[in-house]
């Protein structure tokens, strides 16, 4: 009897851990011996009347989270609120117990007069940011921070419950038309979006929502991603596997297709390039801004750091090679013959940096039947013909180092060769 009781207790711990992991319950207070747990539906539902009465004369910003392709069950709401409890300390300085009802929760924020309500209605999640203050307005950064935390939790819920291809959108309520919600991403990106109210269609601006001007955005964000951009990201996103990258890009590939993509090559850089390439071909109008937005949803990456990766140019380095060899295009392609021996597995990324395209690279790989030396030589020769003005030895060496290729052996052999040629 005693033994059975012990076994049961042991399993209770496991069960509790599992429920915590699934965001169904949250531990909230512990002393040395006890942890207390809360379940996000402790209190009865707030009635419509309660909500209306509470809403009077309070400045509220309302956001709506919609799932266009799927019908989400209310369970999604519970696990989202369960997960938000974990982030709650990030948004509130002096955390106490939030009020959690059936399908409704209220979190107090760092300023006592500002609160976050989150509730479920008609298969959608609503977020009310309420400001009871007489003088203080919502700060733009605070709103963005809260929404980012919510987005991050949505992604985590999808991840834990293995919904890798879920789509969702956050919309903001039009201040004039309470039943109309407008795409927040469009407002953040373009500075305005359409309010499709039944009686009056109109543009809703960034200023209407955030009471401040939209910061100047980097013009690069409006450009379409080139092969070179995709190559740089493929090398930079080292933490991603093909499958996790496809999930971030909400690429609607079946798992089998992603697996196939991953098996196409054992080179992880190339797997990522393949996924990025797939994303671009299925999103013909997408910009670098759209791509960066998808990559930064969970805050594992930041817009500035990704832009820096895309904007940096190869640095001019010092070499012991005589200038007349370094800054010219050698006869007989001596330098590219030498380089072809040493470039190695990163060659495709070097070619992208030098301005060649993925299709040209793939064609030369196929033509040379996997012979790496010949493939690289053909590609470098193509580069030299295509960019006759600046395809110098220096450009080749600087760009190779930039991609992460060790050029020391190449340099030694080029120096040796240039000395032989002098005699
Ligand atoms: Zn409107």
The pLDDT of residue 423 is 45
Tell me what the mean pLDDT of segment 309-328 comes to: 90
Ion ligand 1: residues, CB within 5 A, are 174, 176-177, 180, 195, 197
Rounded to a whole number of angstroms, the CA Rg of the chain reads: 28
Tell me what the mean pLDDT of segment 136-150 comes to: 84
CATH of domain 219-311: 1.10.533
CATH of domain 323-422: 1.10.533.10
How close is the Cα of 199 to the center of ligand 1, in Å?
Answer: 9
CB atoms within 10 A of CB 231: 26
111 vs 169: which has the higher pLDDT: 169
How close is the Cα of 88 to the center of ligand 1, in Å?
Answer: 32
Tell me what the mean pLDDT of segment 113-120 comes to: 87
Cα angle, residue 7 at apex, residues 6 and 11 outer, rounded to 5°: 115
DSSP per position, 214-282: PPPPPGGGGSPPPHHHHHHHHHH-TT--HHHHHHHTT----HHHHHHHHHT-S-HHHHHHHHHHHHHHH
310 vs 161: which has the higher pLDDT: 310
The band of 68, judged by pLDDT with boundaries at 50, 70 and 90, is confident
Tell me what the mean pLDDT of segment 296-308 comes to: 87
pLDDT above 60 for 55: no
pLDDT above 80 for 327: yes
pLDDT above 80 for 94: no
The pLDDT of residue 32 is 65
347 vs 112: which has the higher pLDDT: 347
Quote the CA–CA distance of 306 and 220 in Å, as a whole number. 11
How close is the Cα of 197 to the center of ligand 1, in Å?
Answer: 6
Task: Give tens-digit pLDDT for 7-49.
Answer: 777 788 888 888 888 777 777 665 666 777 777 665 566 666 6
**pTM of the complete model:** 0.59
The pLDDT of residue 13 is 81
The pLDDT of residue 95 is 60
The band of 57, judged by pLDDT with boundaries at 50, 70 and 90, is low
For the chain, give every domain's residue range: 219-311, 323-422
Quote the CA–CA distance of 67 and 38 in Å, as a whole number. 27
Average pLDDT, the chain: 84
Identical fold at 219-311 and 323-422? Answer: yes
Lowest mean pLDDT among 172-186, 210-224, 257-271, 368-382: 257-271
Backbone angles phi, psi at 196, to 5 degrees: -95, 50
How close is the Cα of 65 to the center of ligand 1, in Å?
Answer: 18
User: By the 8 A CB rule, do 231 and 250 touch?
Assistant: no
Alpha helices in 64-139, H assignment, sequence order: 74-91
């Amino acid at each position: 009897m005693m033994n059975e009781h012990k076994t049961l207790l042991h399993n209770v711990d496991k069960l509790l851990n599992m429920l915590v992991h699934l965001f169904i319950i949250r531990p909230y207070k512990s002393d040395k011996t006890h942890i207390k747990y809360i379940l996000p539906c402790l209190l009865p539902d707030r009635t419509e009347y309660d909500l209306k009465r509470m809403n009077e004369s309070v400045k509220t910003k309302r956001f709506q989270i919609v799932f266009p392709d799927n019908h989400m069950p209310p369970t999604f709401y519970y696990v989202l609120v369960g997960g938000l409890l974990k982030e709650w300390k990030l948004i509130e300085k002096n955390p106490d117990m939030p009020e959690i009802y059936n399908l409704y929760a209220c979190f107090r924020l760092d300023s006592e007069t500002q609160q976050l309500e989150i509730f479920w209605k008609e298969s959608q999640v609503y977020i009310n940011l309420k400001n009871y203050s007489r003088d203080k307005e919502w700060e733009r950064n605070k709103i963005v921070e809260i929404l980012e935390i919510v987005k991050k939790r949505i992604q985590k819920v999808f991840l834990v419950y293995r919904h890798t291809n879920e789509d969702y959108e956050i919309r903001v309520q039009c201040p004039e038309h309470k039943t109309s919600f407008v795409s927040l991403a469009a407002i953040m990106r373009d500075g305005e979006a359409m309010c499709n109210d039944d009686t009056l269609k109109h543009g809703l601006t960034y200023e209407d929502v955030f009471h401040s001007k939209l910061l100047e955005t980097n013009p690069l964000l409006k450009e379409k991603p080139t092969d070179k951009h995709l190559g740089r990201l493929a090398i930079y996103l080292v933490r991603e596997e093909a499958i996790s990258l496809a999930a971030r890009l909400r690429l609607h590939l079946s798992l089998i297709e992603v697996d196939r993509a991953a098996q196409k090559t054992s080179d992880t850089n190339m797997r990522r390039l393949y996924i990025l390439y797939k994303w671009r071909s299925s999103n013909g109008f997408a910009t670098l801004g759209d791509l960066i937005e998808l990559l930064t949803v969970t805050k594992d990456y930041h817009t500035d750091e990704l832009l820096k990766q895309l904007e940096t140019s190869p640095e001019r380095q010092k070499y012991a090679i005589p200038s007349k060899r370094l800054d010219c295009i050698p006869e007989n392609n001596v330098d590219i013959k030498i380089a072809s021996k040493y470039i190695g597995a990163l060659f495709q990324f070097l070619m992208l940096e030098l301005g060649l395209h993925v299709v040209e690279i793939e064609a030369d790989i196929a033509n040379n039947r996997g012979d790496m030396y010949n493939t690289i030589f053909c590609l470098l020769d193509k580069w030299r013909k295509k960019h006759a003005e600046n395809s110098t030895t220096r450009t080749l060496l600087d760009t190779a180092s930039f991609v992460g290729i060790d050029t020391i052996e190449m340099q030694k052999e080029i120096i040796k060769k240039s000395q032989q040629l002098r005699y």
